[in-house]
Amino acid sequence: MNDNTHQLQPSRLWHYFQEICKIPRPSKKEEKIAAYLVDFAKTHLLDFKMDATGNVIIRKPAVPGYENRKGVILQSHMDMVCEKNSETVHDFSRDPILPWIDGEWVKARGTTLGADDGIGIAATLAILEATDIPHGPIEALFTVDEETGLTGAFALEPDQLQGRILINLDSEDEGQLFIGCAGGKDTVATLAFESVSVPSGHIALKANMTGLKGGHSGDDINKGLGNAVKLMNRFLWNAQHSFEIAVASFNAGNLRNAIAREAFALFTVPVENEKALLDYAVTFSREVHEELYITEPGLMFSIERAAIPEYVLDDALQSDILDALYTCPHGVIAMSREIPNFVESSTNLASIRMEDEKILITTSQRSSVESSKKDVADMVACVFYLIDAEVEQSQGYPGWKPNPDSEILRITIDSYRSLFNQEPKVLAIHAGLECGLVGAIYPGMDMVSFGPTIKGAHSPDERLDIKSTVKFWELTLDVLKNIPIQ
């Protein structure tokens, strides 16, 4: 780990986080981190298994005196969201993450940090390695592809896990204990790419939307952040109607579970309309800055001359796409009627991609109410049905119904009070957690989720709070020590 992060305490935890940062682990490409975990198990003479999907389970016996305690599953996911700033040169399939300390935070240089969920993996490995930490039998479950499909959790078999207490180490707000989460579903629209020659008398311009914060489409959906797809589309839609532009390419956003933070569009405009369009671009930039100056102070919008493209979109298709994106909802759809200040349902207009003669629009929906999740997903689908797009919806994943009478919740609350002389908050989360799937496969599994404070997850602004990481470590150890007798 570069800079002085190697000096952080507890040393075992940060040592393993350092190791994990060196290992490429994009979603669906977790082979290297899985091999590292298997080697770890072999080195420490621990029983392990890798299933056909790539999930790794490592088992450690109880330490002397704790053999009669209930078994605990420590669960985290191997993959990370791979996002970088446009000017950052980084190959997530090969290059290490480069963390550094900025005051109270650990950050990465121009990329996501991968503390989601690298810090959960690191804590688990430090516990598995230790000889001085009291605990009963432990199963460490490391799943694959949590970020893009929950593939690992979906593939779990009912006989793989022995314990009936699960601690999910994948939450991002220290002092908050999560006992429920939203379910999710993806809705993806595809259209055939129709193009025509560039109209005569046109010049080419490129529009750039950068500097937005982005963020987690669950945790951050209610924070009033800008969406680069929506903002760039708003500019193009108005420019189409007022200045007769012809769009050649429109690419914005990246991952289904991240709020779009960058957008780029190449288009042509009649030469006689160039000045008026550039004047409008100045007005548009001022307007969006005035609207979003509190939540998006770094927003940047610019226009520059570009080479004439080979083709542009057919007028009718261009109009359909821009109309649909303008109509497509993004953000909070409904707040919970049961839990104060809790988002019940939302949708994220995640990305648009124009490539391989197709236009691909990706959205994701979340809700803690299963019927509402389907309703919002169908609402989004209908937007794209109206322009004759091919629409596919994913299988989705279930939510996790809160159990306020949970034994592991009570233990964790007691530990938090004892350690920090504070009352933790017990909440449900609008983001998805693998607990919903685990609970469906293992009915009656007693679960809680907690973690250190991570801000800006799923964006290059991701940062891990150092002090909260110490508290997260201390809480995990104290909970393990207080697991009751079978």
Q: Picking from 25-39, 236-250, 326-340, which range would have the lowest pLDDT averaged per residue?
A: 326-340
Kindly state the tokens that stand for 379. Answer: 């609402």
Q: Which of 117, 139, 146, 344 is catalytic?
A: 146
pLDDT at 340: 83
Query: Per-residue pLDDT tens for 207-244?
Result: 999 999 999 999 899 999 999 999 999 999 999 999 99
146 is catalytic: yes
Q: In this structure, what token pair is assigned to residue 24?
A: 């490429």
Q: Over the chain, what is the mean pLDDT?
A: 95
Q: Which domains does the chain have, with CATH numbers?
A: 5-182+399-481 (3.40.630.10), 185-393 (3.30.70.360)
With a cut of 70, say whether residue 54 has pLDDT above it. Answer: yes
Secondary structure of 368-405 as H, E, C letters: CCHHHHHHHHHHHHHHHHCCCCEEEECCCECCECCCCC
Q: Is the pLDDT of residue 2 over 60?
A: no
| DSSP, res 322 | H
Q: Cα–Cα–Cα angle for 427, 55, 64, nearest 5°?
A: 75
In tens, the pLDDT along 248-276 reads 999 999 888 899 999 999 999 999 999 99
pLDDT digits (tens, 9 = 90+) for 287-307: 999 999 999 999 999 999 999
For residue 295, report the phi and psi dihedrals to the nearest 5 degrees.
-90, -25
Rounded Cα distance between 432 and 438, Å, is 12
Which listed residue (30, 79, 174, 296) is catalytic?
79
Is there a catalytic annotation at residue 414?
A: no
- Section 127-135 average pLDDT: 97
**What is the model's pTM?**
0.78
Predicted confidence at residue 1, as pLDDT, reads: 44
